């Protein structure tokens, strides 16, 4: 049985603990690429694209290694980059029988170490702890081991101590992959059952996706069926990454490889979906498949209205590669024409904004992000709201439900008090507090997602002088006492400033928003009244005094017609600003204001 010689594994780690470095060392050690080729790998990828080949994703690689006269296939499966809510990571771990849990010996266990390890444990994977960076003088191997045991409840006696940088003990890692991770146990003769582990859009080939074949066999020319959509496609090309791409004519039970099947839309091959054969489909699709569903929403507007079409085009391009990104046209009275975009989470939202600015060179105004609310109406209907300005009248609402997340925070013990205060302030519910070492603590809380959208991470970092690490996972909707906060400028409602806020905090948030507004709206030629309204009542006010601009002072003694003209111009300007309805706040000021919130 060919499967006996296959090992499917992932590498999981907290950021910067050495996952990529270890992956490179494994590729090098098994001889897939030599040192020079390693360096050229990135360049190669570009070259491949130029030759209309397919984009190679680094770090998903089929490595071959001979041990005791047997030739093993080691499939290193990269977990997708999107880590919001861990769904995709969890699905790609499902494709493995084991994983390497890399922990930096100078840092110890961190929040993502725990979040990822839980996902691996949930998927019944063989977990091999790998303690990295032991070449550094500040490495504390014993402490790291005891943190692994206390935080994760797994035995760290069998952990492997390495330096991914120098290559020390990489051979032991490879031995452990072969000796400790079980081979796949699929059925060769059963109908094809393959799991989509990752997918992306290639400019020349369309959607490329990686599958793990659990049962049966997939051949070039087969007609496949995507389980969730019931759509059928012809398989044009199959292959492996070594990490160079290598074509093959079939993928057998237990194997991992890429598939190209003339799929145009990434929504049609998303992580976690089941691939089977059209003529003999499996009746056992993988459980727990979810269509990528956005949880976080924000309005995106071009800074310059002329850039609207460019922004539309850029968002369309980004959607090709992000199945969870939703884009809808939106018109805001205050900001003009733009888009309401939905993201899987905060991370994807920030990545999208950065890419719009970095890759597409667009200046974008982003409104304060909002979560998705479920609103139960008095007429029995339940609607979903992603734009606070769309929340119905309070009399029509029976209950509002908001998304919750479970957070894991790891911090030096001295900051625990401060962090708990922050979590309480964020309407958190305490779940667990655990010492994983005498001086390091794991804090678990349930918190409304809305509370961690904007400034939570920054606050956490500054409260802990940068030492706390943080991860979160979606955990359902809960009813909360929420209300709409409306901001008015000179009695006019500014739609893009509406917020959905907890009633208990409405007053405080209203005061803060107005204070920020006051700071960022420059003085106008007339008085600017700022008001915050909740449930029909004004709960906070600020006034920005008028700028006393004596335009006539400039032209003392000048001729009378010039004076007249100036006066007229000033009047006109006043009118125009008022007509704009936003008291002539420059868009730049809008951005500043929105960003500060």
For the annotated binding site for GTP, the residues are 16-21, 132-135
Do residues 12 and 96 make contact, with C-beta atoms less than 8 angstroms apart? Answer: no
User: Which CB, 42 or 546, lies closer to Mg ion?
Assistant: 42
| Binds Mg ion by CB under 5 A, chosen from 12, 17, 18, 20 | 20
Query: CB of 18: closest distance to Mg ion in angstroms?
Result: 8
User: Which one of ligand GDP, Mg ion, none is in contact with 18 (Cβ closer than 5 to 8 A by kind)?
Assistant: ligand GDP
- Give the range of 16-24, 160-168, 220-228, 437-445 binding Mg ion by CB under 5 A: 16-24
Query: CB of 140: closest distance to ligand GDP in angstroms?
Result: 14
User: Which CB, 41 or 475, lies closer to Mg ion?
Assistant: 41
User: Which CB, 133 or 205, lies closer to ligand GDP?
Assistant: 133
Count of chain residues binding Mg ion (CB under 5 A): 1
User: Which one of ligand GDP, Mg ion, none is in contact with 555 (Cβ closer than 5 to 8 A by kind)?
Assistant: none
Do residues 8 and 95 make contact, with C-beta atoms less than 8 angstroms apart? Answer: yes
Do residues 392 and 377 make contact, with C-beta atoms less than 8 angstroms apart? Answer: yes
Secondary structure (H, E, C), 171-216:
HHHHHHHHHHCCCCCCCCCCCCEEEEEEEEEECCCEEEEEEEEEEC
Query: CB of 580: closest distance to ligand GDP in angstroms?
Result: 47
Query: CB of 141: closest distance to ligand GDP in angstroms?
Result: 12
Do residues 340 and 328 make contact, with C-beta atoms less than 8 angstroms apart? Answer: yes
For 519-548, b/e burial (b = at least 16 CB within 10 A) is ebbeebbbebebbbbbeeeebbebebeeee
User: Which one of Mg ion, ligand GDP, none is in contact with 135 (Cβ closer than 5 to 8 A by kind)?
Assistant: ligand GDP
CA 275 to chain centroid, in Å, comes to 25
User: Which CB, 105 or 593, lies closer to Mg ion?
Assistant: 105
Query: Which tokens belong to 255?
Result: 């194997």
111-122 helix and 141-152 helix, angle to the nearest 10 degrees: 50
User: Which one of ligand GDP, Mg ion, none is in contact with 142 (Cβ closer than 5 to 8 A by kind)?
Assistant: none
Cα–Cα distance between 592 and 519 in angstroms, integer? 10
Q: Which residues bind ligand GDP (CB under 6 A)?
A: 13, 15-21, 132-133, 135-136, 163-165
User: Which one of Mg ion, ligand GDP, none is in contact with 538 (Cβ closer than 5 to 8 A by kind)?
Assistant: none
User: Which one of ligand GDP, Mg ion, none is in contact with 164 (Cβ closer than 5 to 8 A by kind)?
Assistant: ligand GDP
Which residue, 200, 197, 219, is CA-closest to 54? 200
Query: CB of 464: closest distance to ligand GDP in angstroms?
Result: 20
Cα–Cα distance between 530 and 488 in angstroms, integer? 6
Query: Which tokens belong to 102?
Result: 């890399």
Is residue 58 a contact point for Mg ion (CB under 5 A)? no
Query: CB of 165: closest distance to ligand GDP in angstroms?
Result: 3
**Pairing of the two strands 296-302 and 370-371:** antiparallel
- Give the range of 17-25, 303-311, 319-327, 585-593 binding Mg ion by CB under 5 A: 17-25
Helix (H) or strand (E) holding 4: none
Query: CB of 15: closest distance to Mg ion in angstroms?
Result: 7
Do residues 124 and 418 make contact, with C-beta atoms less than 8 angstroms apart? Answer: no
- Give the range of 19-27, 168-176, 368-376, 518-526 binding Mg ion by CB under 5 A: 19-27
- Give the range of 14-22, 274-282, 412-420, 462-470 binding Mg ion by CB under 5 A: 14-22
- Give the range of 12-20, 182-190, 264-272, 431-439 binding Mg ion by CB under 5 A: 12-20
Peptide bond into 72 cis (omega under 30): no
**Contacts to Mg ion by CB under 5 A:** 20
């Amino acid at each position: 049985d060919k499967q006996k010689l296959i090992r499917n594994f992932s590498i999981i780690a907290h950021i910067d603990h050495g996952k990529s470095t270890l992956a490179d060392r494994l590729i090098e050690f098994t001889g897939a690429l030599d040192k020079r080729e390693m360096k050229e790998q990135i360049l190669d990828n570009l070259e491949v694209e130029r030759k209309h080949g397919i984009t190679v994703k680094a770090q998903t690689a089929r490595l071959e290694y001979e041990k005791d006269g047997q030739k093993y296939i080691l499939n290193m499966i990269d977990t997708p980059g999107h880590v919001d809510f861990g769904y995709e990571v969890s699905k790609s771990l499902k494709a493995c029988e084991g994983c390497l849990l890399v922990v930096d010996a100078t840092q110890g266990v961190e929040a993502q170490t725990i979040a990822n390890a839980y996902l691996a444990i949930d998927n019944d994977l063989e977990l091999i702890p790998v303690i990295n960076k032991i070449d550094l003088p500040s490495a504390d191997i014993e402490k790291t081991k005891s943190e692994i045991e206390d935080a994760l409840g797994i035995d760290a006696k069998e952990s492997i101590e390495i330096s991914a940088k120098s290559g020390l003990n990489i051979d032991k890692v490879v031995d452990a992959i072969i000796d400790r991770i079980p081979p796949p146990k699929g059925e060769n003769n059963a109908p094809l059952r393959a799991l989509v582990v990752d997918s992306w859009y290639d400019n020349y080939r369309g959607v490329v996706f990686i599958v793990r074949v659990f049962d049966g066999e997939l051949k070039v020319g087969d007609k496949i069926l995507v389980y969730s959509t019931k759509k059928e496609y012809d398989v044009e090309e199959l292959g492996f990454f070594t990490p160079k791409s290598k074509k093959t004519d079939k993928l057998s039970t237990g194997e991992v490889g890429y598939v190209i099947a003339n799929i145009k839309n990434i929504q049609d091959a998303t992580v976690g979906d089941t691939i089977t054969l059209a003529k003999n489909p499996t009746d056992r699709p993988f459980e727990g498949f979810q269509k990528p569903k956005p949880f976080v929403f924000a309005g995106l507007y071009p800074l310059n209205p002329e850039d609207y079409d460019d922004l539309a085009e850029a968002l369309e391009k980004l959607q090709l590669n992000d199945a969870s990104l939703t884009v809808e046209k939106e018109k805001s009275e205050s900001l003009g024409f733009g888009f309401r975009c939905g993201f899987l989470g905060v991370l994807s939202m920030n990545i999208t904004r950065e890419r719009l600015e970095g890759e597409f060179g667009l200046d974008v105004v982003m409104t304060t992000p909002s979560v998705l609310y479920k609103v139960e109406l008095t007429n029995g209907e339940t609607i979903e709201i992603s734009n606070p300005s769309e929340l119905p009248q309070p009399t029509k609402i029976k209950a509002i439900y908001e998304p919750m997340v479970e957070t894991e925070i790891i911090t030096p013990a001295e900051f625990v008090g401060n962090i708990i205060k922050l979590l309480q302030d964020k309407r958190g519910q305490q779940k667990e507090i655990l010492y994983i070492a005498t001086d390091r603590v794991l804090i678990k809380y349930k918190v409304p997602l809305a509370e961690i959208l904007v400034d939570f991470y920054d606050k956490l970092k500054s409260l802990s002088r940068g030492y706390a690490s943080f991860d979160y996972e979606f955990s359902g909707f809960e009813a909360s006492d929420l209300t709409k906060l409306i901001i008015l400028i000179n009695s006019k409602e500014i739609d893009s400033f509406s917020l959905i806020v907890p009633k208990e905090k409405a007053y405080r948030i209203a005061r803060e928003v107005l204070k920020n507004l006051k700071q960022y709206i420059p003085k106008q030629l007339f008085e600017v009244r700022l008001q915050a309204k909740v449930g029909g009542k004004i709960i906070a006010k600020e006034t920005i005094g008028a700028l006393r601009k004596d335009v006539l002072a400039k032209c003392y003694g000048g001729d009378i017609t010039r004076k007249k003209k100036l006066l007229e111009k000033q009047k006109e300007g006043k009118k125009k600003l008022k007509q704009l309805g936003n008291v002539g706040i420059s868009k730049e000021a809008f951005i500043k204001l929105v960003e500060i919130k």
